[in-house]
Structure 1
Amino acid sequence: MNVLVVGNGGREHALAWTLLRAPNVKQVICTPGNGGTATLKGCHNEPVAVDDFEGIRRIAQKYNVSLVVVGPEVPLSLGITDYLQQYNLTVFGPNQAGAQLEASKAWAKALMQQANIPTAQTAVFTDAAAAKAYIQTLPIVIKADCLAAGKGVTIADRPEIAYAAIDAIFAGEFGRENQTVVIEEYLTGQEVSVLALTDGQTIRPLIPAQDHKAIGEGDTGPNTGGMGAYAPTPILTDSLSQRIQTEILEPTLATLQKRGIDYRGVIYAGLMITPDGEPKVLEFNCRFGDPETQAVLALLDTPLDEVILACCQQRLAEFPPLSWKPGVAVCVVLASAGYPGSYQKGYAITGVEQATAKGATVFHAGTKLSGDQVITDGGRVLGVTAVGSTFEAAIALTYEAVDCIGFEGMYCRRDIGFRLAQG
């Protein structure tokens, strides 16, 4: 069958790469795709923007696709699933109502409270002065209510930082339409990403991963879309995983059902495992994580198309248990100088073939094909991913491959996986 993947990031390259390993998948079309999907055997790009729903529909019908997999949160929040389903297309990704789980942090917090899901204490404000007056204890977490590409969160340990974050949100840094700020209790511990697949009736988690959101080593500096990840994270024991299933994932799905939302796609729970071992939800996302997907799918043995179709067709309860390859996976993101702030584009990328020869898989994110040359075209440029029998082996192989690659201003964190030593 033919599959259409919507998006142009590292997550979408990983989805296309994984789908093409499935026996039933003949061809993958990416809209708009990137330099990696443009050069991936069995895959090709169509230059259609993720918010051009009519253009995406035409491409899906042109290639007689059997399945549309939506990667990014923006088209989901704009209602791409609702639109394409009108034309009898099978879409993996929640409808617009379900995508509010990520599109509005205030909406998601209200759902968590309704479902009695453990999370940080929260207050929501539509007035900057009231938000500032609320802050008594530091550090505190300031969040833009809307989608912000992973950059709408500020951890403030001084009043002036908190006030500046609030002012920036109300001044329109994340869109003039966003006039809501969410202020949360600051939680400590280790973060874990649990990506779960659901058909609206049953929910199944994939292996857990740990992202590294901050730009700087030791988790310092501003947040990014993610600078690296590894899977499976050993911090989640079997008993803790079971608690997450029964205390977080299942109540979330049940509450969506109570609200009349038929949610078929990914529920991504960003969790904090507190020092006393309690799992608390930091946020929900309505799609596969990036870069967690690169690490998780590197280990998936079950054909991805089969489990996704089971979700779309509400057959997940009867689907066999997911099968995983032995070992662990590590992904290191290579970024443009200046990211997550302003950065330059258009630099030639070298050494990808040598990195692949080392045994790594190089997923493209912010790249494009210019003639025969792949060049930089974004903040997060590549996700170098390797599998090993141990974390030490996987990390070593990943960085060996990283050292083969070069482009002007290339930056990466050299400590991906540093929390493994902390237990």
Structure 2
Amino acid sequence: MNVLVIGSGGREHALCWSLAKSPLCDKLYCAPGNPGIGTLAECVPLTPSKQDELVAFAKEKGIGFVMIGPEVPLIDGLADRFQAAGIKALGPSAKGAILEGSKGFVKDLCRDFDIPTAAYQRFTDASAAKAFAGTLGLPVVIKADGVAAGKGVIIAETREAADTAIDEILGGAFGAAGSELVVEEYLDGEEASFFALTDGEHVLPLIGAQDHKRAFDGDKGLNTGGMGAYSPAPVLTTDVVEKTIERILKPTVRAMKQRGRSYVGVLFAGLMVKNGEPKLIEFNCRFGDPETQVILPRLKSDLLTVLLAACDGTLDRIGLDWHDDVALTVVMATKGYPGDYPKGSEIRGLDAAAKLPGITVFHAGTALKDGKLVASGGRVLNITATGKTVREARERAYAAVDLIDWPEGFCRRDIAWRALAREG
């Protein structure tokens, strides 16, 4: 069948890389794609916001399956548009995508269905929010209710920082995403990401990963969309995974159906784990970025078969096989990210890096200009390595990073430090 992937980042490059291997995939398209994706698929100059054009293109090309990568088009109802046109598309409806579209909705759902999460309250009034934040210990977490490209969460270490975050969010720093905010207790422990597919009835667990949100080594600096990741995450023991499935994922799928918001697609649970007990930090309604870049290299099973089963309501008939190897990715970003950063700097050396053992380079924010590869975003490259151990995968990844000639870029040098400490 003909397959269309929507999106242009590292996640979509990894999805195309995996889908291109499927014997079921006759022709692969990506809209809009990027130069890396262009080596695997035909890139189509349509952005995810062009819903009418995307549906018309899918009809014209006889697309049999659409994989929607980013969250915003899902929240805006793109999956509904494809479904209405009779085209299979994996991703929740707009009603289902509220799991990522509103943090307040998720917190209320957790409260009503006894899903373990942090204590919280929702606010539109700054004074009331500050008063409640003052009743919680420090640090305290301030979240814009809506989607803010991974930057709408502030972990405030002081009362002054909490008050400033509240004023900025409600004052419009994140646009409409900050028309309401959530103030919640800070959960201590180790953070991890766990992924599953659901067809609205059945939950098929995938695997977990651990990413690094802060910009700089030692978990310093501002939160980003993710500066690196690895899988498996040692904190996600068999017991923790079972608790996550039974206490968080399955109750959420049942609750969404009960609320008239039947959820079909990827269910990504951001977790905090302490003493073997997982609590939900947040849900995302799509594959993670950069977690997808370490999950898919470990998947033995045919990805397209699995995604189609989610669309068809047959996930209970699917079993998955995984490689035992560790996968680790290092994000190379433009200096200045996640703040202001320049665009257009040239990147060299990718071919040499990609030739190293166990290395795959996924493009996240690149473009071609006058025949040269240039940076076009904040997070630009994902240097992904596999290895028998975390240490081997990390050494391979950084060896590849060191072959890339891009003075305007930077990366964290401590990806997987927690796992390395466990390995000894």
Q: TM-score range by the shorter chain?
A: over 0.9
User: For residues 191-206 of structure 1, what are the structure 2 equivalents within 5 Å?
Assistant: 191-206=191-206
Partner Cα distance (1:176, 1:324) in 2: 40
Letter in 1 for 2:235: I
Counterpart mapping for 1:156-175 below 5 A: 156-175=156-175
Tell me which residue corresponds to 1:230.
230
- Residue 97 of structure 1 aligns to a residue whose secondary structure is coil
1:368 CA drift (Å)? 1.3
Q: Following TM superposition, by how much is the alpha carbon of 1:62 offset from its aligned partner in structure 2, in angstroms?
A: 2.1
Report the counterpart of residue 186 of structure 1 in structure 2: 186
Match of 2:395 in 1: 396
Residue 375 of structure 1 and its aligned partner are, at CA, apart by 1.0
Matches of 2:12 and 2:213 in 1, distance apart?
19
Of 62, 66, 69, the residue aligned with 2:67 is: 69
Q: State the alpha-carbon separation in 2 of the partners of residues 188 and 178 from structure 1.
A: 25
1:16 equivalent in alignment to 2:16: yes
Whole-Å separation in 2 of the counterparts to 1:216 and 1:286: 27
Q: CA deviation at 1:23?
A: 1.4
Find runs of 4+ consecutive structure 1 residues off by over 6 angstroms. Answer: none
1:142-291 equivalence runs, <5 A: 142-176=142-176, 178-274=178-274, 276-291=275-290
Which residue of the partner structure matches residue 49 of structure 2? 51
Query: What secondary structure, in the 3-state scheme, does the structure 2 residue paired with 1:141 have?
Result: strand
Q: Secondary structure at 1:290's aligned position in 2?
A: coil
Question: Amino acid of the residue matched to residue 57 of structure 2?
Answer: I
Q: Partner letter of residue 182 of structure 1?
A: V
Q: Which whole-Å CA distance do the structure 2 matches of 1:58 and 1:351 have between them? A: 39
User: Letter of the aligned partner of 1:118 in structure 2?
Assistant: P
Q: 1:200 to 1:216 in 2, by over 3 A?
A: same
Q: Judge conservation of contact 1:145–1:181 (CA < 8 Å) in 2.
A: yes
Distance 1:247 1:272 in 2: 14
The answer to whether the 8 A contact 1:117-1:247 is kept is yes
> SS at 2:354's partner residue?
helix
Match for residue 329 of structure 2? 331
Match of 1:370 in 2: 369
Equivalent position SS for 2:399: helix
Q: Corresponding residue for 1:101?
A: 99
Which AA in structure 1 matches 2:23? P
- Look up the equivalent residue of 1:61 and give its one-letter code: K
Q: Which runs of 5+ in 2 are unaligned?
A: none
Whole-angstrom CA distance in 2 between matches of 1:188 and 1:35: 40
1:310·1:316 contact (CA, 8 Å) conserved in 2? yes
Q: Could you list the per-position Cα deviations for residues 266-310 of structure 1 after superposition, in whole angstroms to 9, with x for gaps in the alignment?
A: 110000001x22100000000000000000001101111000000
SS at match of 1:206: strand
Identify the range of structure 1 (171-180 vs 56-65) with the bigger mean alpha-carbon deviation.
Answer: 171-180
Measure the CA separation in 1 of the matches of 2:226 and 2:154.
Answer: 15
Aligned length: 419
Deviation, structure 1 residue 262:
2.3
Do the aligned partners of 2:335 and 2:341 also contact (CA within 8 Å) in 1? yes
Indicate conservation of the 8 Å contact 1:36/1:368, yes or no.
no
Contact 1:4–1:68 under 8 Å retained in 2: yes
Amino acid at match of 1:44: E
Identity, % of aligned pairs?
47
1:208-265: CA deviation from partner (whole Å, max 9, x where unpaired) = 1001000011111110000000001121221221111111111111101111222111
Give how far 1:421 is off: 3.5
Equivalents in 2 of 1:421, 1:355: separation in Å? 23
Check conservation: 2:5, 2:66, Cα contact below 8 A. yes
Q: Residue 350 of structure 1: which of 348, 362, 370 is its match? A: 348
Look up the match of 1:114: 112
**Aligned-partner Cα distance in 2 for 1:120–1:277:** 16
Contact 1:170-1:176 within 8 A present in 2 as well: no
Q: Distance in 1 between matches of 2:3 and 2:158?
A: 49
**How far off is 1:26 after superposition?**
2.1
Distance in structure 2 (CA, Å) of the matches to 1:407 and 1:397: 18
- Distance in 2 of aligned mates of 1:202 and 1:406: 47
Question: What residue identity is the alignment partner of 2:401?
Answer: V
Q: 2:390–2:420: 8 Å Cα contact kept in structure 1?
A: no
Q: Which amino acid aligns with 1:235?
A: V
CA-CA distance at 1:21 after TM superposition = 1.1
Letter in 1 for 2:76: L
Q: TM-score, normalised by structure 1?
A: 0.97
Query: Displacement of 1:27 after TM fit?
Result: 2.1
> Residue 219 and residue 20 in structure 1: after superposition, are their counterparts in 2 closer, same or farther (change >3 A)?
same
Q: What SS class does the counterpart of residue 325 from structure 1 fall into? A: coil
Matching residue of 2:312: 313
Partner Cα separation in structure 2 for residue 216 and residue 162 of structure 1: 22
Q: Which residue identity does 1:62 align to in structure 2?
A: E
Give the deviation of 1:370 after TM superposition: 2.4
Once the two structures are superposed, what CA deviation does each residue of 1:345-388 show, in whole Å capped at 9, x if it has no partner?
Answer: 11111111111100310000011122432211000000000110
Instruction: State the alpha-carbon separation in 1 of the partners of residues 152 and 420 from structure 2.
Output: 29
Q: Which amino acid in structure 1 is aligned with residue 164 of structure 2?
A: A
* CA–CA separation in structure 2 for the residues paired with 1:391 and 1:81: 37
How far has the Cα of 1:177 moved from its partner?
Answer: 6.2
What is the SS of the residue equivalent to 1:392?
helix
CA–CA separation in structure 1 for the residues paired with 2:157 and 2:391: 34
